[in-house]
Amino acid sequence: MDLMDPSLRYNLRGRIILIVLTTFLFLDFVAVGLRVYAKRLMRKSMQLNDWALIISLLLVTALYCIEIAVVLRGGLGLHVEWILLNKGMPTLMLAGKLVFAADIVWNLSLMAIKISILHLYLTLFGTVMTKFRHAVYATIALVVVSGTAFIIQMFALCRPLAFFWDKMIVGGKCSDERLAYLIPNIINIVIDFLIFGLPMPLFWGLKVSTRKKIGACVVFSIGLSICILAAVRVKYILELDFNDFTYSLYLFSILGIMEPMLAIISACLPILPPVFAKCKARILGRSPTSTHKSSMPSSSGHSKSLNSAQKSPNAIHIRSDAFDDLEHPLIELQVTGKSNDTLPV
């Protein structure tokens, strides 16, 4: 079929894009599905962070569809010269339109994911420290303002706007396109590291088992890998050839879409322990309820915890189900700071 000719017969890069993005989109749907199931197991209602993540999944799905269209219909992965000789200018213009749409949806998906993660921070730690809560709200504002500014920048990049995908328009001009991608990417990297680092001081104060700390480190390592992924994209921005954009966008495109796709998985992992605990209980032939009860601390154990809390007037000790799983339902969070309240997370 001629429609598939440029993408599947001659376009190895396009096939790689299809395989990689399809795999990660599947993992995203699995992760979000398990997250919703985990909320049911914990008998907790859906919160803003859950809905924001679902919206981000829909946006990432739309982004995936756009990228597939760029490969199948626009020749992403092929040289511009090949497209012009074999498919003509309309195909190249369509590729430019789809790339523009992808840039907008990509920014929206990252905004939704970051809002979801930051709101989860508020759910877990927001009542612990006022300064932390204010820092999270400030970061949310930064995410919204910067994301909106990046979208406005895309619409203001070329005059007329159609010159972005149709360079044959007489009198059309664009600002520095490389700079237009580079500056937002650098700002996103700074925000990513900020989001990654916000809960670290609180996290290391958690009184949890080594197993849980290892699991949390895995979650945070995925978050760190996303930051590194965004940093690596800078290299490919600098190497972009805008005169042969369908060919040079290859790795830039893959890394760009993998960022929100991995972020969705990373945002789901902290909520999934109840699912893992239930699977473990079934494998071992016992009910999650009995596991839950057997792991509950004794009243004497809890008294010791309270006594130790009283010895440290500058520590906040919280018994909470914020990190609830079916095996270890209670966690004490110790945060250095002055407070006389014991607050539920």
Contact 205, 333 (CB under 8 A): yes
Percent of the chain with pLDDT over 70: 74
Between CA 250 and CA 16 the distance in angstroms is 9
- Give the right CATH number for 2-271 from 1.20.1070, 3.30.420, 3.20.20, 1.10.10: 1.20.1070
Higher pLDDT among residues 287 and 306, named by residue: 287
Average pLDDT, the chain: 79
Q: What burial letters (b/e) apply to 246-276, b meaning 16+ CB within 10 Å?
A: bbbbbbbbbebbbbbbbbbbbbbbbbbbbbe
Query: pLDDT tens digits, residue range 103-162?
Result: 999 999 999 999 999 998 888 776 667 888 899 999 999 999 999 999 999 999 999 999
Between CA 59 and CA 105 the distance in angstroms is 6
Map residue 331 onto helix, strand or coil: strand
Q: Among 17-21, 167-171, 323-327, 341-345, which stretch is predicted with the lowest mean pLDDT?
A: 341-345
Where are the domains positioned within the chain?
2-271, 286-336
Average pLDDT over residues 269-297: 65
Residues 6 or more apart whose CB falls under 8 angstroms from that of 205 comprise 333, 334, 335, 336
Structure tokens of 103? 């840039």
Q: Which of 278, 179, 246, 180 is nearest to 11 (CA)?
A: 246
Residues 6 or more apart whose CB falls under 8 angstroms from that of 334 comprise 205, 206, 207, 312, 315, 316, 317
Sheet strands (E) in the chain: 158-159, 173-174, 206-207, 315-320, 331-336
Query: Within a 13 Å sphere around the CA of 179, how many CA atoms are in the beta-carbon half?
Result: 4
Structure tokens of 38? 């985990």
Contact 174, 163 (CB under 8 A): yes
Q: Which of 14, 32, 10, 11 is nearest to 22 (CA)?
A: 14
Can you give the pLDDT at residue 286?
A: 60
Higher pLDDT among residues 311 and 24, named by residue: 24
Sheet strands (E) in 130-236: 158-159, 173-174, 206-207
Between CA 140 and CA 124 the distance in angstroms is 16
Can you give the pLDDT at residue 63?
A: 96
Can you give the pLDDT at residue 267?
A: 87
Contact 193, 227 (CB under 8 A): yes
Q: Among 12-26, 203-217, 312-326, which stretch is predicted with the lowest mean pLDDT?
A: 312-326
